[in-house]
Structure 1
Amino acid sequence: MEYFGEIDLNYSKIGIGTLKSEFYQFNGFFDKNFPEGYGKEICNKIIYEGNFKQGLYDGYGILSFPNGRVYKGFFNKHMFHGQGELIGDEGNKYEGIWNQGILLEGKIVYVDGSFYKGTIKNNFLKNGIGSKFYYREQGVYIGNFLNNLRHGEGTFLYDNGSKFEGKWENNEFKQGNYHLKIENEEYFLNSGFWINKIKKGIEQRYFFQEKGLYKGEFLNGKMNGFGIFKYANGNVYEGQWKDNLFQGDGIFYFKPQDQFRKGDVYNGQFQKGKFQGFGCYLNNKQNKYFIGKNYKLQIYFLFYLICRFLGK
């Protein structure tokens, strides 16, 4: 390595200097040959800028990796230690109190807008008591987690007032009390009503996990044929089913209170529970229509005329 900077009478690096080689460079302060105090280090494209102590990251600093991962916070002997925030290469953000490189307690913000607060174990697993806001379901769970799953006593609250309170196992609601608010209807039930006793039938009410209320046809204990599913969060699906999934023609209504899809409607084909095939999509917020496969063909005016004609 080459060194450019200040030295003492014993030729030890001290004061401001630069130490570099083909894959390494440090610019900053030295004391007794080691980086000490503030400096910037680049090693194999990994960049650290912050405080050093006897050559190790110690105190506040920012560590950036080539894959996009960034940590901002406190270090102790090269380890994340104390208050800090890590932005993962997948886009999730982990912030809270760290101990020797492990996040013990804090907050995880996911790329889809969901977030979790509570106790955390190795590999950022949710374990113990905590709360998580679910963006897609528009609700929050408060209670016990085990290996990232809702497990033990807990309560799931939807923003429309629906509530599931009781015992959970591996993310599924098993036993407790339910208060469902769907459109202008309310249901107060206990876990004795949760058991699936319907094997085949038409126009029957049936609860499916913690998601909501189903009314329609069954085959071999699964939703098959025509049926209406009113979700606990306010969304509604009306159409064809196959083995508990949307399959064929149907209409999906997003609840009016949805943050981004306020009152949007999709009318078309479904494959294995997803919008897939030919259909039309009404963007209620922008007052625009989409027509085509997977509503990617945005022929607004033509579709508007078609919808107006069909609606007469």
Structure 2
Amino acid sequence: MTTYGYFLASEDHGPRELVEQARLAEQAGFDSLWISDHYHPWLDAQGHSPFVWSTIGALAQATSLPVETAVTCPTVRVHPAVIAQAAATSAVLLQGRFRLGVGSGEALNEHILGGHWPRAAVRLEMLEEAVDVIRRLLTGDRVSHRGTHYTVENARIYTLPDEPVPIDVSGYAPAATDLAARIGDGFATMGPQADLLKRYREGGGSGPSSCGIKACYDTDQDRAARTVLRRWPNMFLPGELAAVLPEPSHFEQATELVTEEHVRNGPMPLGDDPEAHVRSLAACAEAGFDHVYLSQIGDDMTGFFDFYRTKVLPQLPR
């Protein structure tokens, strides 16, 4: 059975807007929520980046849906011991409806304290150690740890949920997917990447799998394409650029190469044809993913949620 959740874009909306979108998502029939964890937006045009843990506290009071970070980097900007406490508190507020999604991060968010941004293999090594520290702290035991990357001294989390917080690991390339299979309670990626999901399963990963995608609902398809080009052209950048560029201005320079044709020829549904939106979500389900999360690009959130409530979600395979 596939479930369909809504992906709250912290880069593109302020905290009050995100909470209102969560309410609308629940009313529209979405099953769960993802929320991004950023310090910067990708581009100045997106214009936001609220502190995710404050927003999650508000979500816990505004909706009964499950919530997951997509994804938190627990390695550089915030020490894993602090992430463990934040995850525990979030799970208590959400009465067990919280999952911690983690990944190796991007320089865009993690370089802000002035430290060296490591190469990918080292980032994955740091992530593995961080997840181990977080899991140990989430038991409620007193933890002291001196590892390759992190030190924890006499730490204990007192406010804990009744059940352990599941930790899902994101993978956008083979090495990260292998790590997810080895240490994750679940696997997350962007797009219907059946090859990565197969790799996760063959590597021993047995937890739930999640796929994130984007759409631009608008009554005018041309306007939708222009909106995506203005607000989210970074989606079309290839390779590791998203992980290594350090500032929104660098993304703006790189995305000058992205054209409206790239947007129109991409897999993202544009406009108000229900079948196009259904096909996009169904592709993730057909690739084998257990959970699909969709984010709307654009300002007509009321129109979007009404469109999905009446014309898209009822048609989806479950």
Is TM (by shorter chain) over 0.5? no
- For the pair shown, which has the larger CA radius of gyration, 1 or 2? 1
Question: Which structure's relative contact order is higher, taking Cα pairs within 8 Å and 6+ residues apart?
Answer: 2
Q: Which has the higher helix share?
A: 2
Q: Which category describes the TM-score, using the shorter chain as reference length?
A: under 0.3
TM-score w.r.t. the length of structure 2 is 0.23
